[in-house]
Structure 1
Amino acid sequence: MPYDRISEYLKDAYNMPISQGSIKNLLDSFTEKSSLAYQRIKENIAKAVVVGADETGVKVDGEKFWIHTWQNPYNTFIAVSESRGIKAVKDNFPDGFPSSILVSDAWAAQLATPALSHQLCMAHLLRDLNHLIEIYPNHDWPVNMKQLLQDSLRARKTLEKEGFQSNSKQLEQIEVGLDELLKIEVDKKYKKITSFRKRLVKNRNYLFKFLYHSLVPSDNNGSERAIRNVKIKQKVSGQFRSESGARSFAIIRSVIDTIIKRNKNIFDCLAITANLVPE
């Protein structure tokens, strides 16, 4: 929310006249006090076993910027960049994630990020397959691939109930079924199917990590939730008025989201942060 609207709201709702400059100073001070927690969140993400990544475009003073998030069930790290690509990753995590399985929607920069391994988002793949089925209703390949991916999701539910070593035969059938489908040469006139198939062939080893690691999700929904507040902010305000304002939002939102994930009292934690004495 712009400073002038915050000022008007406080005056109308609470009869608390406060200047825009004072609001900016308060936010700058709180951002500085939140920086230590922000850095610790970043360190936690860097050494996590599983990390989800996503990005979304945002306007900053009329220019196109990107908000990136890297998160897991206990931490959310949000950062602002002029780049959507690998530069944003290197600026924040120059070593990548050598100990992590990185879950993403297969954006090129995410797949180019050094990591122990990767997991593609099943929800995105199924969405793509639904589109292929819609535009090529008489072709069996996308139908069969969709069925296989749905079988893998059902297998995951079974594994969660019975243990991740309990159903090796079913997993073997899924792996064999995938290889058989990827071997099928699709007629080039079905351009979108051939393109999708090539993408799966290239990233074949990143499809079913979630069937072998209990902490790896089958989708990237956690990252989409972590970044959703950026879109809400943009709908309310239209844009960030400055890069420093966008960075303040990223820092404070990272801290708030992490507090929520850890089931802590938001007000108490923010009050403790606000009362920190700068070094």
Structure 2
Amino acid sequence: MWMRREGESRVNCTGSSTLPFGWVPGCTQSLSWLFVHAKRGKEAVADLLDYKGLLVSDFWSSYVKLPCGHLFCGAHLLRELDYLGTVLKLGWASELKKLLEKAVSACHRARERGNPVLWNRTALVEKFDALVAKGLRSEPVGKARALLKRLSRFGDQYLTFLFDLTLPFTNNEAERDLRMLKVKLKISGCFRTFEGAEMFCRLRSYVLTCGKQGLDELACLRSVFTGPIIMPSF
């Protein structure tokens, strides 16, 4: 399951005492669930405390604390490494970025060939660990130090995709599900009420889920008003 919280900008609900956040707490290849919540912490993801599957997320602290398996988004990691390598000129960051890009390409080729596993996955992990150790020996500070400490502790959760070719490298599935919410805000600027934001998320959840299951989205929307309602599988 992919997860995404829209924490970079709040969903402006004019007339509400709070400015809630838009979330994609549940997203698979066949289901989507969007909602808004006034909080951005553990209260917003409380419904997932019993989830025992694998969670693909962007390392938001509220997700990390959930008692389930984790796979952290590689796209977010690549952006951090790009900054450290390009702007701060840290050699280990550039090498690590190239290694991850090589690993992703290797996974793509393995899937195309129908290979069940990536033959050099262990070697890639060893190179990853060696570069993290190299970075730590350079006595980094600031963002570089924070990232290296995270990779040292959670490296396995970033590299899980190497050991299961059915897993994604990123949480882009959730990013795509959230995109229309951002488009709505760019056009309208806000939701006038909290209830309006909730209705928008319910509608998008329904349309996205129907689309992922191969149903005619327009026909599904029409059925909501004319009946009988076309319901996707859950």
Q: TM-score, normalised by structure 2?
A: 0.87
Give 1 or 2: higher helix fraction.
Answer: 1
User: Residue 23 of structure 2 is aligned with which of 52, 61, 68?
Assistant: 68
User: Residue 37 of structure 2 is aligned with which of 65, 81, 105?
Assistant: 81
CA deviation map 1:3-49 (0-9, x unaligned): xxxxxxxxxxxxxxxxxxxxxxxxxxxxxxxxxxxxxxxxxxxxxxx
Q: C-alpha displacement at 1:136, in angstroms?
A: 2.1
Query: Separation in 1 of the partners of 2:117 and 2:166?
Result: 16
Secondary structure of the corresponding residue to residue 217 of structure 1: coil
1:245 corresponds to which residue? 196
Q: Which structure: larger Rg?
A: 1
2:124 corresponds to which residue? 174
Given that 1:104 and 1:120 are in contact with CA atoms closer than 8 Å, whether structure 2 keeps it comes out as yes
1:54 corresponds to which residue? 4
2:48 corresponds to which residue? 93
User: Residue 107 of structure 2 is aligned with which of 152, 156, 170?
Assistant: 156
Q: C-alpha displacement at 1:277, in angstroms?
A: 7.7
Q: Please tell me the residue identity of whatever aligns with 1:240.
A: F
- Equivalent positions of 1:1-279 (< 5 A) are 51-56=1-6, 57-61=10-14, 63-69=18-24, 70-90=26-46, 92-95=47-50, 97-98=51-52, 100-115=53-68, 117-137=69-89, 139-168=90-119, 170-184=120-134, 185-188=136-139, 190-276=141-227
Query: Separation in 2 of the partners of 1:219 and 1:277?
Result: 37
Query: Separation in 1 of the partners of 2:115 and 2:153?
Result: 26
Alignment: residue pair count: 222
Given that 2:34 and 2:202 are in contact with CA atoms closer than 8 Å, whether structure 1 keeps it comes out as yes
CA-atom RMSD, angstroms? Answer: 2.0
Q: Please tell me the residue identity of whatever aligns with 1:181.
A: L
Query: Separation in 2 of the partners of 1:78 and 1:114?
Result: 21
CA deviation map 1:80-99 (0-9, x unaligned): 10011121110x3341x20x
Q: Please tell me the residue identity of whatever aligns with 1:108.
A: S
What are structure 1's unaligned runs of at least 5 residues? Answer: 1-50
Secondary structure of the corresponding residue to residue 207 of structure 2: helix
Q: C-alpha displacement at 1:71, in angstroms?
A: 0.7
Q: C-alpha displacement at 1:178, in angstroms?
A: 1.6
Query: Separation in 2 of the partners of 1:241 and 1:208?
Result: 42
Q: What percent identity do the matched residue pairs reach? A: 27
Given that 1:187 and 1:194 are in contact with CA atoms closer than 8 Å, whether structure 2 keeps it comes out as no
Query: Separation in 2 of the partners of 1:277 and 1:121?
Result: 40
Query: Separation in 2 of the partners of 1:277 and 1:182?
Result: 57
